Amino acid sequence: MKISQSLTLLPNIDSKIDSRKINRTLEETKETFSEMLSQAISDVNRLQAEAGKAVENVIRGEEVDIHSVMIAVEKARTSFDLLMEIRNKTIDMYRELMRMQV
């Protein structure tokens, strides 16, 4: 089957692209990404604060389960590492887009 014949099997697609619809979709995506990024940063900050507080309690000599302290510290470290990787990939993506525009 030729390509031109197979295209006739597809439903009618409007060849005009509505730029307003694309811009609206891009804006929604941008807001969603920025909201996701803000939420991730606040989560990392919260986990870091919890880990810091748990370590302070150990240093003060309070009766604290050392396992829960270590878990809190590792959660904070892992979430921070993940956030840094997201940042690095976002920067790489931006640089690649800039290279494509040249």
Which tops the pLDDT comparison, 7 or 78? 78
pLDDT band at 34 (very low <50, low <70, confident <90, very high): confident
Q: Is residue 81 part of a domain?
A: yes
Give the separation between CA 42 and CA 36, rounded to whole angstroms: 10
Q: Report DSSP state, residue 61.
A: T
Q: Is residue 84 part of a domain?
A: yes
Whether 16 has a pLDDT exceeding 60, the answer reads: no
Q: Is residue 3 part of a domain?
A: no
Q: Is residue 45 part of a domain?
A: yes
What integer pLDDT is reported at residue 7 of this predicted model?
Answer: 44
Q: Is residue 1 part of a domain?
A: no
Structural domain boundaries enclosing 84: 19-101
Q: Is residue 9 part of a domain?
A: no
- How many domains would you assign to the chain? 1
Which tops the pLDDT comparison, 36 or 81? 81
Q: Is residue 4 part of a domain?
A: no
Show the beta-strand stretches assigned E in the chain: none
Alpha-carbon torsion (63, 64, 65, 67), positive or negative: negative
Q: Global pTM?
A: 0.64
Q: Is residue 10 part of a domain?
A: no
CA-atom Rg of the chain in angstroms: 24
